[in-house]
Structure 1
Amino acid sequence: MKYVLFLVLLGCSYIPLQAQQTQKPPLHGKNWMAVTGKPLAATAGAMIFQQKGNAVDAACAMLAATCTMWDVLSWGGETQALIYHPKLKKVIAINALGVAPTGATPAFFKKKGYDFPPEYGPLAAVTPGTAGGLCYMLAEYGTLSLQQVLAPAIEMAAGYPIEAQTANSLERGKKYIKEWPYSKAVFLTHPGEKREAPEAGEIFVQTDLLHTLQKMVEAEQAALRQHKSRKEAIMAAYDRFYKGDIAKEFVRGCQEQGGLITLEDLARWKPVEEEPLHVNYKGIEVYKLQEWTQGPALLQSLNILENFDLKAMGYNSTRYIHTLYQTMNLAFADRDFYYGDPYFNKNRAIKGLLDKGYAKQRAALITPDRNNPDPGPGDPYAFMGKSNPYLRFLPERKTLTDTTSGRPPGGFVPKHDAALLLTAPDQAPVYAAHTADSAYMDRLWRGTTSVEAADKDGWIVSITPSGGWIPACIAGKTGIGMSQRLQSFVLDSALSPFNVVAPGKRPRVTLTPSMALKDGKPFLSFAVQGGDTQDQNLLQFFLNVVEFGMTVQQATEAANINTNQLWLSLGGMTIKDREPHPGSILLNNNTTENTRKELEKMGYHLSFGERTSGPVNAIFLDHAHGTLWGGSSNHGEDYGIGW
C-alpha cells in the first residue's frame, strides 16, 4: 500500500478521507474482533471466539498469550481493564495492579542511595497482578473455563517459534539476565555462544511456566470434580497462585535473589472492581480508570480542549500542535503531583481535577504564541470547596530541579515503553534525533502491549497490561518474570504527595485503557503502549476520529506529537533521569518547514520520527451497519483478526 502522507500545514490542513490510504488495511467483522500486540496472540483470541467464547474470554486468552510471549510483559506483571457490560449497559473498571511489598519504604531505598526505586531486578517488583486479574475477569464476566482460555498459552509455553523482536531483546538484555540464575536458565538457550539468546523462528520452550499454568488448570479441574461452580473453580486456580505452592515458590525465588515480596503480601493482595472515571466531550462519554493510572490526564485534556475550536485550527497545524502541547503539559503537571493510589489517601483531588470550571481556568493559562516551560500543578481543591493541603510542597518541589532552565536543542523521548520509531519488527529501530545514550535508546525499542476485543452480543474489553518486561528477573522455578513497576513510585512527597512508596500501596502507573460511549451506546475502545506517551497518543487518536473524521485505521497511523515536558514515570534512579525537558517535542518527519520554524520561534526544541502515532489498537462500533471496525497500528507487530 502507499504510505500515508499527512501534510502538516498552518491553518486547515486536513486531507479528505478519500485521499488517505493506510499502510495496513482496516479490519472488518460482523461477529467479533480481536486486536493485540502479536499475531499469534491475536490468533489465540480468534481461537476462543471460534469456541463461542465472548469478548472477555477472548481478551483473557490474548492476555495469557502475550504474557507467555513476553510482549513486553510477563505473568508477574499488572493488568488494567475496562469492560462494557451489555446487559447492565455500563463500563466496569478492573484494577489488577500489584502493590509494594513489605519493607518497601522511602527510607529503605534512600539508604541505598536511590532517588527512585530501582529500574530492574527483584527490588523493582510489586506483587503480581495479571494472573489474579485474568482469573477475576474470566470468573465474573467470561463464559468458558480457565482450561479453555489458557489452552493457547499452555501450548505456547510448551514451545512456540519465537519472533525476532523478543529474541533480539533477550540478546540485548543478557548482561542483566546473567545476574539472575532462573532468568538465565530460561532465556539464554545457547550459553557460551556468541549469540546466547534464541534466534528468530527457534522453538522457545518454557518448562517452568508450562508447569505453573498447568497447576492453575489442575486446581480448576479438581474444584469442578468436587462440584464447585465455574466461578468457584476458576478462583481455586487463583488461590493456588496466590496462596498455594505457586505462591511459595514465587516468594522463595524472589527472596533468594534479594526481593522483598512475602507470602503475606501475595495472600493479602486482590484485584479490585471499581467505578471508572469519565467526562463528556461534545456529547461523547469518555471512560478511564481512576487516578492510580495516568488515564485521567486524557480526561483533563479533553475538558481543556473543549475551550478551543480544534477543527478550525486544522489537523496538525502550528496552532493545533501548540494548543495540544500546552494542554497536555497542564494535565501532566497535575498528574505528576496529584495522582496516586486512592485507597491510601482519602483527600483525593480528582473531582476538582475533572471539573469543567477548573479546566476553563487551566485553558486560560495557554498563551497563543509561546511555550510555558513550567506550568506547574493547579489548585483543584478550590473547585471542591476545600483548602488545598498540598500547596506547602510546591516551593520544595521547585528546588528539586529548575525546569525553566535552558535545554540544548533536541527532543527527549520517554524511557522504557516509549513511542517506537520502527521501520519493521526485524530491523533496527529508527530513533528520533537527539535522543540520549544507547541504553536510553534501547528502552525505546521495548513496549508493553494492548488488548482489544468485542463481540456481536455487545461485550467490549480494553486492556493495557504490562510488567515483567525483558530483561526480567524470574522468580524461582515458576517461569514468572517479576514486575518492575515499583520504579513508578517516588520517595519524596514534594514530587508527588499521593505517590510515595509504602507497603501495600499501588504505584501510579502509565497503563491506561480507554472506552467511549455515544448516545448511550459503545462507540470506541482503544489503548496503546508507550509509557508516558500513552495518553498523549490516545488523546490524538480520539481527536482524529471525533474532530477530523478518520477511520480507526487512519487514526492509528496518523502523525502525532509527543511532549517530554513532564516527569518520567519509568527508567533511571536519579532526579536528572526523570526531570522534565521543557519545550521538547517529537514531530513527524512530514512536518512542513514553515511549521517547524513557527514552533521554534515559540520556544520548542524539535525532534522528528518516521512514525509517531502510537502504536494504537482500537475497535469502532458501527451501529449504522451493525458491524465492527478494527484498527491496528502500523508500528511493530500489533495485529488484529475479525470475523
Structure 2
Amino acid sequence: MSTLPPFTTRPEIKGTFGAVSTTHWLASSVGMAILEKGGNAFDAAVASGFVLQIVEPHLNGPGGEVPIIAMRHDDEAPRVICGQGVTPMGATHEHFASLGLKTVPGTGLLPAVVPGAFDAWMRLLRDYGTLSLETVLEPAIGYAERGFPMLTRAVSSILAVVDFFKQEWPSSAEQWLEGGRAPRAEALFRSPAIAATYRRILAEARSAGSDRIAQIERARDTFYKGFVAEAIDDFYRQPLMDSSGERHAGVLSGEDMARWSASDEPTISRPYAGLEVHKAGPWSQGPVFLQQLALLEDVDFTAFGAESAEFVHQVAEAAKLAFADREVWYGDPNSAEVPLATLLGQAYNDERRKLVGERASFEIRPGLEGGRQRLEAIMALAGSEPTVGPGGGEPTFAPLPSVEGDTVHLDIVDRHGNMVSATPSGGWLQSSPSVPGLGFSISTRAQMTWLVSGLACSLEPGMRPRTTLSPTLVTRDGRPYLALGTPGGDQQDQWSLATFLRIVHYGYDLQRAIDAPLFQVRHFPASFHPRKSVVGRLLIERRFSEHDLAELRRRGHELAVQGDWSLGRMCAVAQHNGMLHAGASARHMQGYAVGR
C-alpha cells in the first residue's frame, strides 16, 4: 500500500520566515521581496495589492475597492479596513428615474462609487505597516513603467471592446490599445499613465517632509482632495455610453471623494470546530459564510467523503438558504437595518436547518417576517433591463471561455505571526472609461443597489453597496491561524467554504484543499447587472466521479458540468505546528504561493 501523499498540482509551501499567496505570480514575488527587505505582512500586502492593480487590470485597478482583514500577532482580534467606497450624493432614485432607468447600469459612468482601494491601502500602511510609501509603491510603478506580460485573459477582455473603445470611450482606447489594436497576449505591456499618476502622488507625499506618517497623509489628500479627485470630477461631467445603450454623464464628484475615507471596524465572527471565523460586515456578503457554517454545524462530515455527492449536496443546500437571506437582508448597516444577530443566531439556524432535505430545493427561501415580500420586489427587477453592448456588470468577455470572478486576492503571514487577507476588485478596464490623465477606470459597484425603496440595498446617496468581496481570517486560541479567499463574485463564499471545510473536517493541507474539485449554486439573483438567476442550477467541475454526478442528478440538482479546472482561484496561508504554510490555485495558471 502506497504511503505517498495525494497528488497536488504544486507542493504546499512550508517555511518559517514568511508565506505569500496571491492571484498573480508577480504580486506574490513582490510580497516576498518586501518581507525580505524587513517589512511585515502588512507592508507586503500593500505592495502586492498595488502590483495586482497593474498586472491584472481586467480584474482590479487603482480606481477600485478592497476589504482587508488584518491581525497583528499580539492583537486580541482581527480588524476590518473597509475600502468599499460609497455612492455619490447625486445618486438618487429621482435622478435615475429622470433618465428612464429601472436598474442601475452595469457599465459606464452612472454606477460609479468613490474609489476606496487607495485609502484602504494607505490606512493599512499607516496603522499596521513599517515601511515608507515609496518602498511599497515602487514595484507597481516599475511594472507600469518598464512593462509586464499582459495576461491572455486580459487581452481577451480588451479584444471584445476594441471597436467600442474607439467609438465610445476614446480615453480607454488610448490607455489599452496599441496602434488601434488589442495588445498581444503574453507580450510586454506598459501603463505609463498610471505610473505617472503614482509618481506624482509620491512627489506630493515627499513635499510633506521625511516623516513616514506625514507622507502617507499627504498621499491620501492628494488622491481624494487633489489632482486625482479633480480629474475624476471633470471627466464624470460628460455623457458617455453605458450598458443601458444610452449616453449618460456620471454623478460622482470631487466633493464625494473629499468627504469619504476608509473605516476601521470590528469583524463579524462565529465559532466553528474549535476555531473562530472572522468576516467583514453585511455591507459585504461575508456573513453568508458564517450563516452557512451555522446551518452545517450539525452535519456529520465523517460519514461521507470530501469530494462526494453528499458533501456537495449538503453544502449546496445550505448555500441556497444562506444566500436567500443575503439577497433580502444584507446591506450597509449605516443605511439599513440588518438583523444580523438573528440571522447568525442558534435558534434561527436550528429552524432553517430543517429545510435541508434529501432532494435539491428549487425555491428561493429567505427567512424572517417580510423576507418573501422583499424577494418578490427584487425578483420583479432582476434581469428586467438587459445589458446593451459588450459585457455585463461583472465584465467577462469572449473569445475565451468565461471566468468566474473579475477580482483578485492575497493572503500573507510573516515570521512574527502577523496575518492579512484582502480581496481587491473594481475599476475594471472594461467596465468604465479610463479617466484621462490618470490612466485608470473607476469602480461600478453601485450596480449592486436597487432602484426601489424599502430594501436592504436600496440606492441611497452615501451608502456602501453590498459587495461580494469577502476575505476570510480564522483564529485559533485567539491567534491568527488561517487566511483564505478567492475572486469569484457570488461564488467567493461558496468556493472558500468548500476549501475551509476540507481543511477542517478532512485534514487536507492547503494545496490539496485548493486543488480539490469545486462547485457552486446559481440559485439567487446575481449581484451584477443584469442580475439574473437560474433556480436550481449547480455548476460543478467534471473531476467529480460519474457516480457522484449521477447521484446529484438523481437528487434533483440541475447540473451544469464545467471544465476540469474551471472554478475558483483560491489562495490561502496558515501558521501551525511551528511553520508557515501557503497554497494557491493552479486554475488559469496565474496564482502562486511563495515562502521560505
Task: Settle same-fold status: TM greater than 0.5.
Answer: yes
1:367 aligns with 2:357: yes
How far the C-alpha of 1:348 sits from its partner, in A, is 2.4
Partner residue of 1:265 out of 242, 247, 256: 256
Inter-partner Cα distance in structure 2 for 1:20 and 1:571: 41
Inter-partner Cα distance in structure 2 for 1:488 and 1:143: 36
Deviation string 1:312-339 (CA, Å, 9 cap, x unpaired) is: 1322323222211110000000000000
Equivalent residue number for residue 468 of structure 2 = 510
Partner residue of 2:504 out of 543, 546, 557: 546
Partner residue of 2:442 out of 468, 471, 482: 482
Partner residue of 2:427 out of 459, 462, 468: 468
Equivalent residue number for residue 173 of structure 2 = 184
Equivalent residue number for residue 481 of structure 2 = 523
- SS of 1:90's equivalent in the other structure is coil
Equivalent residue number for residue 573 of structure 2 = 619
Q: Quick one: structure 1 residues 120 and 309, their matched pair in 2 at CA, closer, same or farther if it must change by over 3 Å?
A: same
1:89 aligns with 2:76: yes
Q: Quick one: structure 1 residues 200 and 161, their matched pair in 2 at CA, closer, same or farther if it must change by over 3 Å?
A: farther
How far the C-alpha of 1:453 sits from its partner, in A, is 1.1
1:197 aligns with 2:182: yes
1:416 aligns with 2:403: no
Equivalent residue number for residue 48 of structure 1 = 34
- Matched AA of 1:498: A
**In 2, are the aligned partners of 1:98 and 1:128 still within 8 Å (CA)?**
yes
Q: Quick one: structure 1 residues 180 and 350, their matched pair in 2 at CA, closer, same or farther if it must change by over 3 Å?
A: same
**In 1, are the aligned partners of 2:12 and 2:510 still within 8 Å (CA)?**
yes
Equivalent residue number for residue 546 of structure 2 = 593
Percent of counterpart pairs with the same letter? 31
1:33 aligns with 2:24: no
Inter-partner Cα distance in structure 2 for 1:91 and 1:517: 9
**In 1, are the aligned partners of 2:496 and 2:570 still within 8 Å (CA)?**
yes
Equivalent residue number for residue 451 of structure 1 = 410
- SS of 1:478's equivalent in the other structure is coil
- SS of 1:33's equivalent in the other structure is strand
Matches within 5 A, 1:19-418: 19-69=5-55, 70=57, 72-163=59-150, 164-178=152-166, 179-191=168-180, 196-225=181-210, 229-257=211-239, 258-345=249-336, 347-368=337-358, 370-379=359-368, 390-391=370-371, 393-394=373-374, 396-397=376-377, 400=380, 416=394
Unaligned runs of 5+ in 2: 240-248, 384-391
Inter-partner Cα distance in structure 1 for 2:53 and 2:382: 40
Give the TM-score taking structure 1 as reference length: 0.85
Q: May I ask how many residue pairs the two structures share in their alignment?
A: 573
**In 2, are the aligned partners of 1:415 and 1:531 still within 8 Å (CA)?**
no
Inter-partner Cα distance in structure 2 for 1:367 and 1:489: 32
How far the C-alpha of 1:508 sits from its partner, in A, is 0.3
1:632 aligns with 2:590: no
Q: Quick one: structure 1 residues 113 and 638, their matched pair in 2 at CA, closer, same or farther if it must change by over 3 Å?
A: farther
How far the C-alpha of 1:599 sits from its partner, in A, is 2.2
Deviation string 1:53-87 (CA, Å, 9 cap, x unpaired) is: 11100000011011122151110000111001223
Inter-partner Cα distance in structure 2 for 1:501 and 1:402: 15
Deviation string 1:584-611 (CA, Å, 9 cap, x unpaired) is: 1012213333333332232221111212
**In 2, are the aligned partners of 1:17 and 1:550 still within 8 Å (CA)?**
no
1:564 aligns with 2:556: no
- Matched AA of 1:170: I
How far the C-alpha of 1:462 sits from its partner, in A, is 0.3
**In 1, are the aligned partners of 2:365 and 2:372 still within 8 Å (CA)?**
no
Deviation string 1:105-150 (CA, Å, 9 cap, x unpaired) is: 2333344444421111111211110111111110111000111100
- Matched AA of 1:601: R
Equivalent residue number for residue 386 of structure 2 = none
Deviation string 1:469-494 (CA, Å, 9 cap, x unpaired) is: 13141122111211121111122347
Q: Quick one: structure 1 residues 546 and 401, their matched pair in 2 at CA, closer, same or farther if it must change by over 3 Å?
A: same
Unaligned runs of 5+ in 1: 1-14, 380-387, 404-413, 421-426, 431-440, 573-577
How far the C-alpha of 1:212 sits from its partner, in A, is 1.2
- SS of 1:256's equivalent in the other structure is coil
Q: Which moved more, 1:508-517 or 1:43-52?
A: 43-52
- SS of 1:469's equivalent in the other structure is coil
How far the C-alpha of 1:210 sits from its partner, in A, is 1.5
How far the C-alpha of 1:197 sits from its partner, in A, is 1.6
Inter-partner Cα distance in structure 2 for 1:203 and 1:595: 44
**In 2, are the aligned partners of 1:173 and 1:470 still within 8 Å (CA)?**
no
How far the C-alpha of 1:361 sits from its partner, in A, is 1.0
How far the C-alpha of 1:160 sits from its partner, in A, is 0.9
Inter-partner Cα distance in structure 2 for 1:401 and 1:187: 34
Off by >4 Å, runs of 4+ in structure 1: 15-19, 427-430
- SS of 1:465's equivalent in the other structure is coil
Q: Which moved more, 1:286-295 or 1:19-28?
A: 19-28
**In 2, are the aligned partners of 1:415 and 1:568 still within 8 Å (CA)?**
no
- Matched AA of 2:237: Q
How far the C-alpha of 1:98 sits from its partner, in A, is 1.0
Q: Quick one: structure 1 residues 516 and 99, their matched pair in 2 at CA, closer, same or farther if it must change by over 3 Å?
A: same
How far the C-alpha of 1:18 sits from its partner, in A, is 4.3
**In 1, are the aligned partners of 2:282 and 2:330 still within 8 Å (CA)?**
yes
1:641 aligns with 2:590: no
Equivalent residue number for residue 246 of structure 2 = none
Deviation string 1:551-573 (CA, Å, 9 cap, x unpaired) is: 0001111112210001100132x
- SS of 2:237's equivalent in the other structure is helix
Q: Quick one: structure 1 residues 157 and 398, their matched pair in 2 at CA, closer, same or farther if it must change by over 3 Å?
A: closer
